[in-house]
Amino acid sequence: FQEIGWARRVGVHRHAVTRSERAMETEPMSLALGIERVKAYWSHQELGVTADGLGDLGTRLEGALPRVAWLQAHFWHQQGLHEKSRNLLLTLRDSYPDSGQIWYSLAGHFKHEKWLEDRCHAAERIVGLTSGAAWARVDLARCWHAQGYRQRALRIGAEVYGEAPGLDAGRAAVFY
């Protein structure tokens, strides 16, 4: 199992596929191995098999494992099916409103689609879910800046770096 993930991460994708296929022969009902096999096919750019595998897992699980639906949404997004991907993420968000991973994915979709207000709303939610993590606040500052709220963005940036609200332009560039 670990070997499959390792092979994907280091770029030995064919090995990950071969290893995952062998592992599935011995444990065909393993959900964890099924997910790893789909990810191995995906990283090897075997997109038809990836789509089939995600569909099979989704049918088999009947929505019981949000991780599979999240992977499906990312796969669809990568394939240019943005609306379908976004709609699945919105459904996941409604079912799991406290999932930072889902909100983060939505923020990425909204950024890609240039839906700035929705992106900033998602960024605010992420700040709350991460207890105000610095990276989340910087992302929120970038979002506000993109909407033209420069002072709001600078104020957040100053808080992140523990400086006075009069953040100079050179340092402000770090955020944008």
**119-149 pLDDT, tens digit each:** 999 999 999 999 988 889 999 999 999 999 9
Q: Residue 72: what are its φ and ψ, rounded to 5°?
A: -60, -45
Of the candidates 139, 172, 143, the residue with the CA atom closest to the CA atom of residue 155: 172
**pLDDT at residue number 165:** 53
Q: What is the pLDDT of residues 70-85, one digit of tens each?
A: 999 999 999 999 999 9
First vs last C-alpha separation in the chain: 40
* Residue 9 binned pLDDT confidence (cut-offs 50, 70, 90): confident
Contacts of 48 (CB under 8 A, 6+ apart): none
pLDDT-above-90 percentage for the chain: 47
Sign, CA torsion 152/154/160/164? negative
**Predicted pLDDT at 164:** 44
- Own/partner pairs for 103-108, CB < 8 Å, 24+ apart? 103/129, 105/70, 105/73, 105/74, 107/139, 107/143
Mean pLDDT of the 5-13 span: 81
Q: Is the pLDDT of residue 105 over 80?
A: yes
3-state DSSP percent of the chain in helix, strand and coil, to 5: 75, 0, 25
pLDDT tens profile 82-101: 999 999 999 999 999 999 99
